[in-house]
């Protein structure tokens, strides 16, 4: 796939970036190379390849779901300005 000078100038306008004339020719070559690589990747046969959730096929070790801290709610709420039924009361900010 090729990209034209007109395409690059249009994208530059849409992205609101300034591209000089000498940059346009360099971008035309570089973007053309990238699009050629994408075409090569798209042509690869991936029918027998199973999708992966992670490229390294890694498994994350999980820790046991255990309570490790003691309940300190009463101590924390004792120093709060205002609480009710185990909840912190805050001033209304939206009317």
Model confidence pLDDT, tens digit, residues 35-68: 999 999 989 998 988 888 778 877 788 989 999 9
Mean pLDDT over 74-83 rounds to 95
Q: What is the DSSP letter of 65?
A: -
Question: What are the φ and ψ backbone dihedral angles of 38, each rounded to 5 degrees?
Answer: -65, -40
Domain spans of the chain, in order of start: 5-43
Q: Which of 1, 91, 86 is nearest to 39 (CA)?
A: 1
- How would residue 70 be classed by pLDDT, with cut points 50, 70 and 90? very high
Architecture of the 5-43 domain: Orthogonal Bundle (1.10)
CB 80 within 8 A of CB 88: yes
Q: Which pLDDT score is estimated for 2?
A: 80
Q: What is the pTM of this model?
A: 0.48
- How would residue 13 be classed by pLDDT, with cut points 50, 70 and 90? very high
Structure tokens at 7: 């395409």
CB 3 within 8 A of CB 25: no
Structure tokens at 86: 């185990």
């Amino acid at each position: 796939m090729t990209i034209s000078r007109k395409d690059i100038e249009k994208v530059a306008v849409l992205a609101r970036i300034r591209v000089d004339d000498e940059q346009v020719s360099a971008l035309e070559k570089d973007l053309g190379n990238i699009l050629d690589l994408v075409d090569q990747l798209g042509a690869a046969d991936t029918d027998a390849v199973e999708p992966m959730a992670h490229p390294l096929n890694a498994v994350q070790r999980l820790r046991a779901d255990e309570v490790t801290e003691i309940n300190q709610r009463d101590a924390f709420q004792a120093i709060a300005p205002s609480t009710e039924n185990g909840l912190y009361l805050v001033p209304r900010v939206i009317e």
